[in-house]
Structure 1
């Protein structure tokens, strides 16, 4: 019998479905918010789609995370009648579906005109640029996420207040917690192996019910697939255990925010050696790594909305909560936005610490990598290394990050680098979706406003 990981071609995909005598398979794409949109597809439809693709209503790129229709995008909308968008199935993404015995999942991506705004397609264009420049990119993503002893019904009944964390108190790296709840930890690790997004490390973080999972390194495109799948199916597994997992950037003002850090490195296509490692240089940083780092630093304020894509993202970007507030870098310094990790030919890398857990993995990785390539192209040099606590130091004004989602969207729209790296269609569409997100927030009255103004003002 064929293994899902051996599937590479359309013929392989047909063979494994036939061997398992499946009547249906699951197919899915990821939208602008990194939400997995998909369906069960019949065997005959799947076989025909392997050759000629299939159609998916393009509303998935025309609505927000609550299925509310954008009124400010040009790609789709009432003015186009929400037609179908062509989609290609990617046979090499075949996965076993955990706890759905024998069932298979295939990822897909938007094609033709829709490919210009497709998150996966956007990352692939950046990877093609890296290849043309002579590099292969490798990445590993790690996520913090909070777990609750709640269900989708109970959180709504409670109005998202007074939620019960999966475990109480602050207890980072707790062996007690992961031993008491060993069955769940083993389910998480087993799911990650079965579905091919293996976890290198899994532990409690500081905060009630918070866990951190570090995914294993892989080629960048595969790493993004694995990160997006991990976020989706971690939520699935939690709910199947009558729990809830959230990847919100910050769910409570009383606890730390949740990060989505990205580890990145480049290898030379010519000799498969690290493009970042040069033992003759300070911190073993090659000229290429310096340029890469400088590009990431310089473009960070312009590309922030791709790392911090929600209104909630900006509640995390405050001093003292392990989240950077300026486009800074340091060596093994976790108070800076970019952390250079010296090592060997195998391990020399940059950790992009800015990203939050709510970011779309494809877009966050596209931005982190694209900015670095921009720096290499333009032979940029980084600002001086930050030593010590970055939060307590003054930094150059141009390193300051936008403080709101609206401001971030404006910076993206005006970024020549973003338009060059990702294309005008993507920049216009994604910036518009972030403007919509901010406008939706402005329409609502918060509890803070009622408490502050209702009686007194």
Structure 2
């Protein structure tokens, strides 16, 4: 039996026995999309398949640097950081080719914690879609920079004068991907073996930046693959003595790293719902309402889409990132690119997302806003032709400029509360406010250089 053949608890038991494994790896994704987990003994794991197991709920109560949130209700010193129940997902089974062909299983929080578990939030949005007769398929595209550095060297250099995989811009370079073919081939093979196949991998424009397009799948499976891809790309690079970063914008000199999402919708029988040969650009009413909802709610849900301080460094004109909730047909200057053509290729590319977003949370926002558009028969703004950067947009399509402003918009959103629940909106908004407050404690080099002597 292979890992991809595991569909239920009995299959998982059979494969573990067949391989004679003494320990199995289990991972969950936290609020920021960072994978947390541990090795479990065979006996503990097999018993947990039936009943779940306790995982310290601090995973939902700290930031990317393991600093404890002081402003959330769900967990904290006031609750004593107890265990929360975690359910192992049998059909998430993956081989670990970088770890002597061990096995990895994903898990998700259940019970009270499910309301703020990123995977649980997305799963509930997908249920709403199915209730409306829609199946959502998505595929993630990621840009990421690779450096000939280690976790130790980047700290020694204080993140300055880093050596990228390539010395300068050379987009789609056949020279670079041939010279570095071993790195490319290692990543392609790893992703095949771990059931997160890459449809395309190439050099982007910027020193050492790559772009990977993951194969599309059902929305929940697609988010699993995206989250695993980010984690195991970093692992694969570090095992080669390199580092990959998915920061939204690591340098002011180069475009930011995107995390675009391609999305299509089928009805419950499998028929495409975005294509209508009798409509302009073959855009069906369902597709029109869907992207109109995404467009209208983008400013309101931006904290889920651009969830870090750094994400807002990317949203500036002229760097291949949208700055308003714009839409256009095959227009890469827009936040929403409508890809038209054949019945099965017709889709939406949601281009506002950066590589640093939590795949589960951003996808929940992308889908829910589209559902709202369909349910309310929303109508889009006029499509943008030419450069969206030169287009004037009404105020209600302007995006928040900071994470703090975006968090306030999300916290006040009744639509967000309807689709994601009050508990999630309160918790996630508070975590973004925390992120902003932590940032404001920092004195930057720019401030010291500007003010120390002169002011």
Task: Give the TM interval when normalised to the shorter protein.
Answer: over 0.9
CA contact (8 A) 1:304 1:401 kept: yes
For residues 252 and 283 of structure 1, the distance between their equivalents in structure 2, rounded to whole angstroms, comes to 38
1:97 and 1:347 map into 2 onto residues whose CA distance is: 33
Matched, 1:305 2:307: no
Shift of 1:345: 2.0
Structure 2 residue matching 1:143: 3-state secondary structure: strand
- Return the match for 1:429 from 420, 427, 430: 427
Q: TM-score, normalising length from structure 2?
A: 1.00
Structure-to-structure mapping, 1:254-293, within 5 angstroms: 254-269=253-268, 271-293=269-291
Is residue 51 of structure 2 the alignment partner of residue 52 of structure 1? yes
Q: Secondary structure at the match of 1:202?
A: strand
Q: Residue 376 of structure 1 aligns to a residue in which SS?
A: helix
Match of 1:444 in 2: 442
CA deviations over 1:240-274 (Å, ceiling 9, x no partner): 000010000000101110000000111010x3111
Aligned to 1:194: 193
1:456 is matched with 454
Question: What is the Cα deviation at residue 101 of structure 1?
Answer: 2.2
Q: Distance in 1 between matches of 2:411 and 2:341?
A: 37
Q: Hey, what does 2:25 align to over in structure 1?
A: 26
Pick aligned residue for 1:393 from 380, 391, 394: 391
Q: What residue in structure 1 maps to residue 345 of structure 2? A: 347
Q: Does 1:361 align with 2:359?
A: yes
Q: Displaced runs of 4+ in structure 1, greater than 2 A?
A: none
1:213 aligns with 2:212: yes
Contact 1:199–1:213 (8 Å) recurs in 2: yes
Give unpaired runs (5+ residues) of structure 2.
none
**Partner secondary structure for residue 25 of structure 1:** strand
8 Å CA contact 1:144, 1:213 repeated in 2: yes
Unaligned runs of 5+ in 1: none
> Residues 214-260 of structure 1: CA distance to partner in whole angstroms, max 9, x if unpaired?
00011111000000000000000000000010000000101110000
Aligned twin of 2:381:
383
- Counterparts of 2:449 and 2:254, CA distance in 1: 21
Partners of 1:105 and 1:279 in 2: how far apart? 44
* CA distance in 2 between partners of 1:48 and 1:327 (Å): 48
For 1:232-251, what aligned pairs fall within 5 Å after superposition? 232-251=231-250
State the alpha-carbon separation in 2 of the partners of residues 448 and 107 from structure 1: 42
CA shift digits 1:416-454 (9 cap, x unpaired): 110001000000000000000000000010011011111
Instruction: State the partner residue of 2:95.
Output: 96
> Which residue of structure 2 aligns with residue 408 of structure 1?
406
Deviations 1:312-371 (A, max 9, x none): 000000000000000010000000000000022211100000000000000111100110
CA contact (8 A) 1:88 1:108 kept: yes
Taking the TM superposition and a 5 Å limit, the aligned residue runs for 1:309-320 are 309-320=307-318
* TM-aligned CA deviation for residue 393 of structure 1: 1.1
Secondary structure at the aligned position of 1:302 is classed as coil
Query: What is the distance in 1 between the residues matched to 2:282 and 2:361?
Result: 29
Q: Is the 8 A contact 1:20 1:102 kept in 2?
A: no
- Secondary structure at the residue paired with 2:238? helix
Secondary structure, counterpart of 1:301 in structure 2: coil
- CA distance in structure 2 between the partners assigned to 1:279 and 1:240 by the alignment: 50
Separation of aligned partners in 1, 2:381 and 2:319: 23
Matches of 1:345 and 1:13, distance apart in 2: 38
Residues 1:327 and 2:325 aligned together: yes
Mapping 1:130-145, distance limit 5 Å: 130-145=129-144
Q: How many residues align?
A: 455
Contact 1:307 1:354 in 2 (8 A): yes
> Which residue does 1:36 correspond to in 2?
35
Q: Distance in 2 between matches of 1:98 and 1:72?
A: 40
CA distance in 2, matches of 1:367, 1:138: 14
Give TM-score, length-normalised by structure 1. 0.99
**Residues 179-233 of structure 1, C-alpha deviations (whole Å, 9 max, x = no match):** 0011110000000000000000000000000000000011111000000000000
The root-mean-square deviation of aligned C-alpha atoms, in Å, is 0.5
Q: Secondary structure at the match of 2:140?
A: strand
User: Matches of 1:69 and 1:101 in 2, distance apart?
Assistant: 35
Please give the secondary structure, in 2, of the residue aligned with 1:136: strand
Cα distance, 1:13 vs. partner? 0.5
Once the two structures are superposed, what CA deviation does each residue of 1:136-173 show, in whole Å capped at 9, x if it has no partner?
10000000000011000000001111111111100000
Shift of 1:99: 1.7
Report the alpha carbon displacement of residue 102 of structure 1 after superposing the two structures with TM.
2.5
**CA-CA distance at 1:98 after TM superposition:** 2.3
In the other structure, the counterpart of 1:111 is 110
Q: State the distance in 1 between where 2:54 and 2:122 align.
A: 22
Name the counterpart of 2:9: 10
